[in-house]
Structure 1
Amino acid sequence: MTKTATGLFDDYSDAQAAVNALEARGIPSDDISIVSNNVDERRTGDTNAAEGAGAGAGIGAAVGGVGGLLTGLGIMAIPGVGPVVAAGWLAATAAGAAAGAVAGGAAGGLIGAMTESGVSEEHAHVYAEGVRRGGTLVTARVEDSLYPEAEAILRRSNLVDPTERRAAYTEQGWTRFDETLDPYGPTQIEQERLRYRR
Structure 2
Amino acid sequence: MKKAVFCITQTNDQVERIVSELKAAGFSNNDISVLLPDKTSEREAGHEKHTKSPEGTAIGGTIGIGTGAVLGWLAGIGTLAIPGLGPFVAAGPIMAALGGAGVGAAAGGLAGALVGLGIPEYEAKRYESRIQGGNALISVHTETPEARSKVEDIFERENAEDISSTGEAQPKRYSSSGRSEPRHY
Answer whether TM exceeds 0.5 for this pair: yes
Larger helix proportion of the pair: 1
Relative distance call for 1:81 and 1:5 in structure 2 (3 A) is same
In 2, Cα distance between equivalents of 1:164 and 1:154: 12
Equivalence for 1:171: none
Aligned-partner Cα distance in 1 for 2:17–2:158: 7
State yes or no: 1:34 paired with 2:34: yes
Structure with the larger strand share: 2
Q: Which residue pairs with 2:125 in the alignment?
A: 125
| Unpaired runs of at least 5, structure 2 | 61-67, 164-173, 177-185
Residue 148 of structure 1 aligns with an amino acid whose one-letter code is: S
Relative to the length of structure 1, the TM-score reads: 0.65
Distance 1:131 1:61 in 2: 22
3-state SS of 1:29 partner? coil
Identity of aligned residues (%): 30
Q: Give the whole-Å Cα distance in 1 for the aligned partners of 2:102 and 2:11.
A: 26
Which residue does 1:54 correspond to in 2?
A: 45
Alignment root-mean-square deviation, CA: 2.7
Q: Give TM-score scaled by structure 2 length.
A: 0.69
Matched, 1:69 2:60: no
Instruction: Indicate the residue corresponding to 2:166 in structure 1.
Output: none
Unaligned runs of 5+ in 1: 42-49, 166-198
Structure 2: which amino acid aligns with 1:147? R
CA contact (8 A) 1:4 1:141 kept: yes
Which residue number corresponds to residue 14 of structure 1?
Answer: 14
> How many pairs does the alignment contain?
152
Q: CA deviation at 1:29?
A: 0.4
Aligned residue number for residue 44 of structure 1: none
Contact 2:34 2:139 in 1 (8 A): yes
